[in-house]
Structure 1
């Protein structure tokens, strides 16, 4: 399952530092359980695991199967938590090249006119058999007015209205707030299918709601297994939170020691989007009141040839969190070559996964020797069960750690600052 090893990071702490941090983390967890901490009204991501809604899971699973049978392309139109969580799971559990079922494409997560123009052009291209592409669209936004998402939805909705006028109401699915907001007006007017974003769940904690579950299910992942393993992990950690408390305490104690950067790294390229989800989860949760560590991401071994030098010998203001997978789904075994022209015959009989694993251990040892405190989070294997456990584990750890910092884990007032300035420049009243 999910295992965390903080032993190499704790070597950088005095015993009393960790003990004090662990006591603070334990108190923080109690605040979460008894709903006495800042932002307690946003704990719906825990409540839905304590009391699962089987009907919603069935509805999502049923619609996803229908879409998988009809769609060539499924567009996820959203930004931040409305895009990162689903993408993290889809890429972690999917294929690098090609896929069974619809191609998942993302939109509304930036404001590139070139991207949208080329996306529409791609959608208009016929398939290899000469038939037009069948396209479904899931727009995700509580307010329906988030600028990046709303602009993309304007363009894509117009294109879909022209291409699929007879069944457009079946092809557009809106995931939004229960009441109010711009999307609810369109739902009433056009009869689009609707899923509700719970009022008490913020975007970066929403991957196990319809926000993430519908796109994940359309990709072919078993969302019931994903969700119920998160439920199981919730129950286990309620009874025995030792592992998550040790992790949160270690991270907080290192912050108290002056660490201001947490490099989230993986040696598995299919987990790159997962570290992106972690970056948002941590960054938007802890970065307030001039507190918190900046969550950077790195994909090894690629980035060992770019920022690896800095991590090894640069400013000693960082810790590192490795996300690893113990067993590989697919790999290639190295064969011995006549002449040994590249000098790599000594690797014969080993798989790429085995070689990559040793690269991880070597990097871990080197970075520790370079005075970088390192935490290792291990996943047994990449499947829906283990990713479900991973999601809840990090959601809980983030909330505990942020309460240690004495900030509200669930708001993002700083995000509104840039929006205010941007809207003024754009002439919004």
Structure 2
């Protein structure tokens, strides 16, 4: 469901000649869960191993909840919200007609944003899912306090109890303790799956169920990707090796993931966390950035075409079949001179733009391009693509010689912030 195309014959040859023994060694580390950080490799077999009973229970709770609410507030930061948001926007689009609206809080400490959401939902029927392994992370913690209080104040404790769900540790932590005390329904974040790899766990699945997304199709896509990426010559590993060569042998410092569909924008944000947090350590790793073309061609296109060279390369998501399409209407006067396009649909024009930009950037601008062909944008495709990128990220990280599953650098800002806020113990 994803094909990796390298727009440079030299890179294509170097990928083909890359050590098969090295790829095999890393692949076995992933599949056998023997590499560094292997206590966080539960996601590798999750499409088969996920808790079927818990999924059935989630479906019941989600179905009951979505009958009562218009809006679900998804409380979380990083991997606790990005996966669900990426999936929802890719699958349902930016303006879905049906289902519960998902709004994300606790992913920022912005007072203005938080107050605006507060004003928006106070006259709506809303529920809350609080997603946190510990329950003590500052951003989601203070946001949950605000909206839990609002819901209790408006609806009372008994109704609030029916509309608040916690996704957290199975047995310990502040959120688990709070949920048990208040009688909130809880679902489990597995111990062996880290946040940025958690979209197929209740972290991503429960909000999507409430939104009305077909979760069975997501798992079907993930399971297919799991099978397709077991061979050594799979497309995910080809992508991982290509970016590894561009980084370690060609000296590139940044990778830009380019989408041509606005509903893929948060998917690129999810990708940035996946690769940035997994690879950016020990003084190594590509800096992950993203663009949406043709939108960003009118701001960043000049730099990509003629700016500093050997800094970034592009990876392009080429969606073969759009979710919707429309034609350019005919205008008898043709004052804008666009009647020549009336025989083509918007997607056909978008596809031509993609091909023209690749030609300009890769051939004229000498910027390496990797094209990833996606068949479509739906639940199955999301499941496939998310797992596919996780597997390529694990391969890429191990090829760099780092542990892709920890994030020690993230803790530095937290410690500094706690000291400045005079948190007890800091």
Q: Which TM-score band (shorter chain)?
A: over 0.9
SS at 1:138's partner residue? Answer: strand
8 Å CA contact 1:21, 1:253 repeated in 2? no
Match of 2:167? 175
Aligned position for 1:129: none
**More moved, 25-34 vs 320-329:** 25-34
1:318 corresponds in structure 2 to 312
User: 149, 152, 163: which is aligned to 1:158?
Assistant: 149
Give me the whole-angstrom Cα distance separating, in 2, the residues matched to 1:13 and 1:206: 32
Q: How many Å separate the matches in 2 of 1:16 and 1:106?
A: 43
Q: Give the counterpart of 1:207 among 181, 199, 205.
A: 199
Tell me, which stretches of 5 or more residues in structure 2 are unaligned?
Answer: none
- Separation in structure 2 between the aligned mates of residue 302 and residue 17 of structure 1, nearest angstrom: 31
Distance 2:294 2:19 in 1: 33
> How many Å apart are 1:62 and its aligned residue?
2.2
Contact 1:18–1:249 (CA under 8 A) maintained in structure 2: no
Separation of aligned partners in 1, 2:297 and 2:354: 11
- Is 196-205 or 35-44 further displaced after alignment? 35-44
How far 1:414 moved relative to its partner? Answer: 0.4
Identify the residue that residue 5 of structure 2 maps to in structure 1.
5
Q: Where do residues 11-22 of structure 1 align in structure 2 (5 Å cutoff)?
A: 11-13=9-11, 15=13, 19-20=17-18
Deviations 1:65-123 (A, max 9, x none): 22221111110000000010000000111133353122111100000112122211111
Pick closer, same or farther for the CA change 1:268–1:21 going to 2, 3 Å. Answer: farther
RMSD of equivalent CA atoms: 1.5
Aligned to 1:335: 329
Higher deviation after alignment, 27-36 or 156-165: 27-36
Given the superposition, is the C-alpha separation of residues 267 and 22 from structure 1 closer, same or farther in structure 2, using an over 3 Å criterion?
farther
Counterpart Cα distance in 2 of 1:22 and 1:164:
61
Is 1:187 matched up with 2:179?
yes
* Partner of residue 108, structure 2: 110
Tell me which of 51, 54, 57 is aligned to 1:59: 57
Distance, in Å, in 1 between the alignment partners of 2:305 and 2:144 is 44
Question: For the residues of structure 2 that align with 1:222 and 1:14, how far apart are their CA atoms?
Answer: 37
**Paired residue for 1:224?**
216
Per-residue deviation, 1:331: 1.7
Whole-angstrom distance in 2 between the partners of 1:202 and 1:168: 29
Deviation, structure 1 residue 239? 4.2
Q: Which moved more, 1:41-50 or 1:288-297?
A: 41-50
Aligned partner (choices 372, 394, 400) of residue 399 of structure 1:
394
Q: Tell me, yes or no, if structure 1 residue 135 matches structure 2 residue 139.
A: no
Question: Runs of 5+ in structure 1 lacking a partner?
Answer: 126-132
Question: Displacement of 1:124 after TM fit?
Answer: 2.0
The answer to whether the Cα contact below 8 Å between 1:42 and 1:200 also exists between their aligned partners in 2 is yes
CA, structure 1 residues 15+232, in 2 after alignment: closer, same or farther (shift >3 Å)? closer
> Aligned pair 1:259/2:252, yes or no?
yes
* CA displacement at 1:351 relative to structure 2: 0.6
The answer as to whether partners of 2:2 and 2:235 remain within 8 angstroms in 1 is no
- 1:232 Cα deviation after fit: 2.2
Q: What's the offset of the Cα at 1:17?
A: 6.8
SS in 2 for 1:413: coil
Aligned residues: 420
Give, in whole Å, the separation in 1 of the partners of 2:323 and 2:12.
Answer: 40
Q: Give the drift of 1:22.
A: 5.1
CA-CA distance at 1:218 after TM superposition: 1.4
TM-score by length of 1: 0.95
C-alpha spacing 1:14/1:391, structure 2 compared with 1 (3 Å): closer
Determine the C-alpha separation between the residues in 2 that align with 1:150 and 1:395.
28
Corresponding residue of 2:81: 83
| Counterpart-to-counterpart distance in 1, 2:239 and 2:227 | 18
Matches of 1:245 and 1:20, distance apart in 2: 11
How many angstroms apart in 2 are the aligned matches of 1:320 and 1:95?
24
Partner-residue secondary structure (3-state), 2:229: helix
Given the alignment of the two structures, is residue 120 of structure 1 paired with residue 114 of structure 2, yes or no?
no
